Chain A
Amino acid sequence: MFCGTAIGMASSASVNSTSTIACKIALIAPAGANLGNPMTYLAKPKLHHPSLTQNKVCHNRRDYEGRISSLCAGCGHDSISAAIIQACFEMDVEPHRVAKLSGIGCSSKTPDYFLGNSHGFNTVHGRMPSVLTGANLANRGLLYLGVSGDGDSASIGIGQFAHVMRRGVNMTYIVENNGVYGLTKGQFSATADQGSKSKKGAINTDTPIDMISLALQMGASFVARSFSGDKQQLVPLIKAAIAHQGAAFIDVISPCVTFNNHPGSTKSYDYVREHNEAVNRVDFIPPRAEIVVDYAEGEVVEVEQHDGSVLLLRKAHGAHDVHDRIAAMNYVATHQAKGEVLTGLLYVDDEAVDLHHHLNTIDAPLFSLGVAELCPGPAVLAKINAGLR
């Protein structure tokens, strides 16, 4: 048994609410379950754990789980954790090769609830991007997963969000977007709808920030939106983002059942289900795997990423070109004006390069270098001294 799971089980004793247990079930949804409706998989009892089959790196799905979630039952964030678990398991990611970082918020607590064998870092509010950047600079050999909230990334952290995208840090950056500050109990975040009413009755008059548009503008090289309740769309998007060798951003609408799930909220389960305009559906094919297509020709577009992985895009209506950043910005803006929530892969640069490329850093992780590689030694110092006389 792996220690991460063992600790997770032990600490579950301290979690008292039964609702959190129900919530936890989202984390262990079976691979083959009908995932179209989020409520169906949320309700799966824990005992029906899927077969503990192992993936190519000899881990079963449980090895990708974390501690018991302490979030509210039905929280969209827990579904996203489940999607991350599924994506990493199916992608044969070695859990300990992932570093998961977050800011502060309910969303930012979630890295404790998945990938228990990965190191995680719950940093400060709105500043996860800088910490992730530094971690990535120190060790380019790991996979970086940044998890944040809309308050964390669009309110207090909008500056760092913008700059981490500009720099092209190789990472998967997920915003669990509920349009509200969950952890501090329901204040508006910067993505809250204009005119919407808080649980306490306040009206939001500020213009909402669209994270997708911002990420596109700032140069993110992989930009997607999804819905916590649509695992079929979300899981392949997460896989594709992980495979992407650059700044990958996924805005995941994640309803807050306690503070922002009321009728009219564009971040509620009902609204998103009714207004979800899926641009495309992505199937993720790992590098070197055989591509078997069973879609009608013309419907499917193949996108090969830098690492050899292939994204099969089943396009819905329209002919949005995922390689055209400007078109993506227009497309998003046009649909937003109509009140539609555009989901799917909106932009990808197959030839993306990352910050290490720009900085021309050596291939070996910087943290692993020792005195022999780093210290010029006394002879060079003697020369430097001589030049200073």
Chain B
Amino acid sequence: MSAVIAVPPAISAVNDFVVKFANVNGSGSASANELFAKAILRMGVPVSPRNIFPSNIQGLPTWYEIRVTAQGYLGRRGGVDLMVAMNPQTWNQDIAEIAPGGYLFYDNSKPLPTGKFRQDIHVIGMPLTEISNATYAEPRQRQLFKNIIYVGALAALLGIDTKVFQKLFAEQFKGKEKLLDANTQALHLGRDYALAKLPRIGLKVMPLDAVGEQIFVDGNAAAALGLVYGGATVCAWYPITPSSSLAEGFQSYCQKLRVDPVTGKHRYAIIQAEDEIASIGIIVGAGWNGARAFTATSGPGISLMTEFLGLAYFAEIPITLLNVQRGGPSTGMPTRTQQADLLCCAYASHGDTKHVLLFPEDPHECFEFAAAALDLAERLQTPVFVMSDLDIGMNQRLCQPFSWDENRHYDRGKVLNAEQLEASRDFGRYLDVDGDGIAYRTLPGTHPNKGSFFTRGTTRNVYAQYSEAGPDYIANVQRLLKKFDTAKTLVPQPVLRAAAQPTRYGVIYFGSTSPAMHEALDALQADHLHLDAMRLRAFPFPASVDAFIAAHDQVFVVEQNRDGQLRGMLINEQQIDPARLVAVLHYDGTPITARFIIAAIGKHLRKV
């Protein structure tokens, strides 16, 4: 056993550090890395992993970054304490990222790659390839088990109990005893080598009870499940990162949960369309005909959908869109996260259009809001967007378990059936009978001679008869505004977090900024900088947003885009004085960090 590394000062931390794996895509590393993350979770210690995968074919480097966080801070921290460098191609870049005093773990079967090197980090070499090749004959096995060997070694270095892995293997390889044994063997190879030959390091995982009932799932899978629970029956989509796994998730959940047990027939229809125009066209047709229909896409897809979005808005067709946001444009940053589609979704299309947006903060809310969006779309007879992003959608995130009330029913909105039509005297598709801006609709095929109408954009009167008359147009779009007001009362309301003491400062944020914001607020408070915080969960903004802003001298608006899109919407929609709203903007494509928010807000508050 070697001695503890003493010079230069090694980072020392328990349950609070960042490990980053630099891998080559397709090497089987993803499942090994996930296994590593899950093992720490099973020790009761929260983790927050992130996939970092450039849209780059050459060699396909990928990274997996795990934040181990006793306090449950699930935002990206920034910096790396332990780099597991398995990809020679990215070696220089990976070495450069390690925090001073941090650790480099690498495969020393071959001589060190040439390149820059650092004196302020601790290097741990292990002959992974050598060990694997000596044990396994087949090339694929050698590759796959090399990953498990390094997981075993890291487990030993960090003090993760091998029994935890034993249990995970048992669950994963239930009924496949051969695989179970082989994986256990590989894990032990790594562990035993590390215990015998590697120096001890200052990073430790200690058992804790901070995970509880929480689940570990990615936002796209969660949204897909929410759509199954919420009763979506028609899905049309066109593949695009980072939203593809949402539609694929819907498909796989449906195969398990939506097949008629007697006939084997499907209670759903999924079309991989020829493009996003067709995707939205299909769901517009389905929504018009009474089915709960959705599409999942990302920014470039939204661009293609905008003509139909206008039609759906004016013709009042319920549809649900899940926009998993990424950096724009089409040749932009497809594998990077942003919250930069607010304006393009809120006002998508030509003419005076406005759309309902929901902002989930994590997979739990992806599930909730996906189901809620289906209800809202039918209640409001309009497109509803769930604005997720790559950070939430494509990373497994610890969150509250999904829940579903046994007595929950779908809100199918104002749809007249045959009896109601029979009894009605004066059906007008666009008549505001209830004064809430929402008119009654009918579905094709309902009644032999009542309630049919010809659906078109705006060239019609309240009876859906052709009209180009100005007063008809104005009355209609004014009613649509009234409907948008009604929407304010139906969408998920903002969530407040009050400061520890009365303060003149507030902060508004939304979506995937949430975990970093919680961490930042804790840190700022510890630094005696107090802010009331409001997390917006939907557009249109309810009156409580105005009240919140009015109650503070200055309100920071934190978002992940260049132009302060949410801030602009607050100014325009709520008539807020721009001077009251201070923009805090993060938009380099990486998830926002608490460090960034603390620095930005801290600097501003210390100035005043």
A residues with a Cβ closer than 8 A to B are: 2-4, 7, 11, 63, 67, 94-97, 99, 101, 111-112, 116-124, 127, 129-139, 141-142, 159-160, 163, 167, 356, 359-363, 366-371, 373-378, 380-381, 384-385, 388-389
Contact = CB atoms under 8 A, between A and B. Distances in A.
B544 interface: no
Max count, chain A CB within 10 A of own CB: residue among B260, B278, B283, B463: B278
B285 A135 contact: yes
B291 to A, nearest CB: 3
Given A121-B315, A389-B213, 13 more contacts: A3-B449, A4-B449, A119-B454, A124-B308, A130-B273, A159-B275, A160-B274, A160-B278, A360-B265, A366-B233, A369-B267, A378-B406, A389-B41
A167 B272 CA distance: 11
Max count, chain B CB within 10 A of own CB: residue among A122, A131, A375: A131
Contact of A122 (B231, B268, B280, B455): B455
Contact of B265 (A120, A142, A361, A380): A361
Interface stretch (B48-56, B104-112, B439-447): B439-447
Nearest to B277: A127
Contacts of A373: 267
B289 A130 contact: no
A131 B266 contact: no
Contacts of B442: 119
Given A2-B449, A96-B446, A119-B445, A135 B289 contact: yes
A362 B266 contact: yes
Contacts, number: 236
A43 to B, nearest CB: 27
Max count, chain A CB within 10 A of own CB: residue among B275, B277, B445, B456: B445
Given A124-B308, A138-B293, A389 B216 contact: yes
B403 A381 contact: yes
Given A134-B281, A135-B286, A369-B267, A118 B455 contact: no
A138 B284 contact: no
B396 to A, nearest CB: 9
Shortest Cβ-Cβ A-B pairs, 6 listed: A130-B281, A134-B285, A138-B291, A367-B290, A119-B444, A134-B282
A81 B434 CA distance: 37
A117 B284 CA distance: 21
B231 A384 contact: no
Contacts of B273: 130, 163
Contact of A139 (B41, B271, B445): B445
B466 A366 contact: no
Interface residues of B, number: 77
A348 B447 CA distance: 33
B448 interface: yes
A133 B268 contact: no
A134 B402 contact: no
B410 interface: yes
5 contacts: A4-B449, A120-B455, A138-B293, A371-B231, A371-B409
Nearest to A140: B269
Contact of A137 (B217, B274, B282, B457): B282
Max count, chain A CB within 10 A of own CB: residue among B289, B404, B455, B465: B289
Contacts of A381: 229, 402-404
Contacts of A356: 269
B236 A134 contact: yes
Interface in B419-452: 442-450, 452
Nearest to A389: B215
Contact of A376 (B228, B454, B455): B228
A366 B264 CA distance: 15
Given A371-B409, A376-B228, A136 B285 contact: yes
B448 A388 contact: no
A142 B289 CA distance: 10
A134 B257 contact: no
A36 to B, nearest CB: 33
A131 B282 contact: yes
B278 A374 contact: no
Interface string B192-235: 00000000000000000001011111000000010011110110
Contacts of A367: 233, 286, 289-291, 443
A306 to B, nearest CB: 19
A112 B466 contact: yes
A388 B217 contact: yes
Max count, chain A CB within 10 A of own CB: residue among B225, B291, B401, B409: B291
Contacts of B308: 124, 127
A389 B217 CA distance: 9
Contact of A362 (B263, B446, B457): B263
Contacts of A167: 271
Nearest to A122: B456
Contacts of A163: 273-274, 278
B289 A139 contact: yes
Contacts of A118: 444, 452
A378 B267 contact: no
Nearest to B409: A371
A131 B444 contact: no
B188 interface: no
